[in-house]
Structure 1
Amino acid sequence: MTIDTVDSVRCENAARPAHDVARTWLLTPGRPDGNADFARAERSAADVVVLDLEDGLPDALKPEGRRAVRDWLGSHHAWVRVSPAATAEWSADLLALADAPGLRGVMLAKAETVTDVAATAGRLGAGIPIVALIESAIGLESALEIARHPACVRLAFGLGDFRRDTGIADDPVALAYPRTRLTVASRAARLPGPIDGPTLRGAETRLRDDTETTQSTGMTGRLCLDPAHAGVINSLMSPSADEIADARATVHRLGGGGSVYDGSDLPALGRAQALLQRAERLGLSAGA
């Protein structure tokens, strides 16, 4: 598969979608010498840039990496992935991020209990949103409780660590259960659809199929490791012009409720209205 580079670079003045509808969450290692990579991520088509202080940063580089990320957030905006709760690295991460003016939110690695989210929210202060990464069997079992914490704005699937913890194969059928369970937990907690794991660098031939799998399980975003993947994922995970046109026709036909003729019409109307709302939130033309 050749990555389509059209719309792969964000216009300097283009606004990113809000985190509740964001499709691509680009993880960028928070390295001490990472300013060029941070800038490249900022220019990419990714909806959300996440500077990574956890797995993307070797332990020996973490102290200097934290300083680099903190300095960057003095004049730029980004999310930050922080280490698992109650660890020494987590405490150091949050100390480095305290009152950083450009901090948009944090992605909490390996969340396993609602206490993990509560403790992180307590350290960050009110108003900082948290995406909880579910990366273990324990985390999956606690997903609904985690999702219901007021500071948690979305769930995300830490695919690699989840497979390591459970021994589940890298197969869409085998992984359908955890994916759909996160979708159901998100919906039950009245959160947006969850964020799926990434396609690895160098695996571009899988990018389209992986993203279609994400959509089939009700997830509405993906982690991203390569800026070049962002434009493709955004395109695939956005309502198409045909879908928007069909939704508008459905709303026109059923919008007043008078044309409803069987029990499937109101659900169809609800899906159409939700699609048009999402298209509008993403800055797409609902009049196309």
Structure 2
Amino acid sequence: MSEFPWGPALLFCPADRPDRYAKALERADAVILDLEDAVDPANRPAARDALVASSLDLSRVIVRVNPGGTDDHAADLAALAATPYRAVMLPKAEGLDDLRALGDYSTIALCETATGVLAAPTLAAAPGVIALMWGAEDLVASLGGTSSRRPDGSYRDLARHARSAVLLAAGAEGVAAIDTVHLDIDDLAGLADEAQDAVASGFAATACIHPGQVETVRAAYRPSDSDLAEARELLAAAETTGGVFRFRGRMVDGPVIAHARAVLRRADRIG
């Protein structure tokens, strides 16, 4: 799998709020300057002007443009071309035609419609795509539904299927997968559960909509001291033993060794 260029907590920031840009970037591993859903359509011209006038660490900035085929999309790309930022998130991506205008940008394809989820394998294999992300609410809306979650807060089967499908499509093509946002800002326990599941399943990052969510996500992705110690001990045993062996009462073979290596890689990336 290709190296994911950011840490695990990606924070959305409305592009029409330049007063929040630097603070958002300070709090998160990367900031997603959002020209789409977070901005009232009437404010999008001002948001583009703010984007062009900004000067941030370009290695940690992602710009979410509006969907392909819209007037806003063309205007967003014109503004983006006037900046040094090279990472773009494309919402409601549904096929290769949506990606053609993005040229040499590093692209996160956001699969958040029924068509987009089914097209995830094609999007993951497209040149320039470095990650897939999935979205629950737009997906449900594209089907005429009303809620991605049950009354107890758990995802409905549709959303769970889409999440898995996007993760598998990304993994099959060696690109990263980003887990979607947790809309209940005050539900840090629920966010922690979902982020812990995300890292255990193989997601590279989780998107956040509020700075208060960032540390919960980082904590979920950060291996504990005991996890690191166990991974290092297991790998040391593998070097001296070879083949299948017993470690702390468990059978260890190739996949379990790969899990341990993943823990160390994650620790190195998060720091």
TM range (shorter): 0.7 to 0.9
Q: Which residue of 1 aligns with 2:119?
A: 142
Decide whether the 8 Å contact of 1:26 with 1:223 is kept in 2: yes
Task: Determine whether 1:169 maps to 2:148.
Answer: yes
Decide whether the 8 Å contact of 1:157 with 1:179 is kept in 2: yes
Task: Determine whether 1:281 maps to 2:265.
Answer: no
- Distance in 2 between residues matched to 1:164 and 1:214, nearest whole Å: 23
List per-residue Cα deviations over 1:217-266 (Å, max 9, x = no partner): 43231111101110111111122211111110110011356253488511
List per-residue Cα deviations over 1:49-103 (Å, max 9, x = no partner): 011000011110001110011111x4553211000112111000000110412x1
Change (3 A) 1:27 1:274: same
Task: Determine whether 1:120 maps to 2:96.
Answer: no
Change (3 A) 1:187 1:111: same
Change (3 A) 1:86 1:36: same
Task: Determine whether 1:153 maps to 2:130.
Answer: yes
Identity of aligned residues (%): 30
TM-score when scaled to structure 2? 0.86
Unaligned residue ranges in structure 2 (runs of 5+): none
User: C-alpha root-mean-square deviation of aligned residues, in Å?
Assistant: 2.1
The equivalent position to 2:182 in structure 1, one of 191, 199, 217, is 199
- Distance in 2 between residues matched to 1:90 and 1:26, nearest whole Å: 21
Aligned partner letter, 2:148: A
Q: Which residue of 1 aligns with 2:204?
A: 220
Q: Which residue of 2 aligns with 1:267?
A: 255
Aligned partner letter, 2:12: L
TM-score when scaled to structure 1? 0.82
- Distance in 2 between residues matched to 1:19 and 1:100, nearest whole Å: 22
Of 259-268 and 217-226, deviating more is 259-268
List per-residue Cα deviations over 1:88-142 (Å, max 9, x = no partner): 11000000110412x141111110112212x1322xxx2x211011111100110
- SS class of match (1:95): helix
Change (3 A) 1:211 1:281: closer
Decide whether the 8 Å contact of 2:52 with 2:82 is kept in 1: no
- Distance in 2 between residues matched to 1:129 and 1:256, nearest whole Å: 41
